[in-house]
Amino acid sequence: MRCLVVFCHPVKESFGAALRDRALAALGEAGHDLHLIDLYADGFEPAMAAEEWQNYEKKGVNEEPVVEHVRWLRWAEMIVFVYPTWWYGLPAMLKGWLDRAFVPFVAFDIPTDDNPRAAPKLTHIKKIAVVTTCGATWWWSKLIGEPGRKTILRGIRVLCAKRCKSKYLALYKMDLVDEPKRQRYLEKVYRTLKSF
């Protein structure tokens, strides 16, 4: 499968980078054709400019500021997101990427009077996986409602293939876990993605 890995962490030596590397190793060994988007390393600008917003619903024109990202979205059959959960949700950089790259006529068709629902356009994407870390506990994350998880596994997934498969891997209490537990999580990520 053609697999797009979207990585979001500002620190090159982070545990997030180790997760990215294990994810890439697992997916590569499983035989997937890989492409990595490293939002911080690439210098991605998450804020949408005024002109970009004014052209948001203009087919073709709205792709121009993010043409390379749109190309990879159209190429992908699977997307794997690797990021830290901050304030229960997506890092601003990743949220900005979704805002700017998942534009109308690429990710969805704009609702009309005849069809009031946004029609999915990423139906070639058959799998989505999330690899994340959370500072909160599992139960507290559930109590808050896990907005980051819902954004990707509900909001983005609905734009993909009808029976799009999904995986969500999270290491909770990230700031308190010891090295052996981190290593076990790295191996869980590896095993899960290799067989996904």
Looking at residue 114, what is its pLDDT? 79
For the whole model, what pTM was predicted? 0.95
**What pLDDT does 112 receive?**
80
CATH number of 177's domain: 3.40.50.360
Query: Could you report the average pLDDT of every consecutive run of 10 residues in the chain (196 residues)?
Result: 97 96 98 98 97 96 97 98 97 98 95 81 98 94 93 96 97 95 97 96
Q: Residues with Cβ < 8 Å from 43, sequence gap 6 or more?
A: none
pLDDT computed for residue 111 by the predictor: 81
| 156 Cβ contact list (under 8 Å, min separation 6) | 79, 98, 102, 128
Q: What is the pLDDT of residue 148?
A: 94
- The first and second tokens of residue 150, run together, are 């819902």
**Residue 39, φ and ψ in degrees, nearest 5:** -60, -45
pLDDT recorded at residue 87: 95
How many structural domains does the chain have?
1
Q: What is the pLDDT at residue 108?
A: 95
Give the residue numbers spanning the domain of 22: 2-194
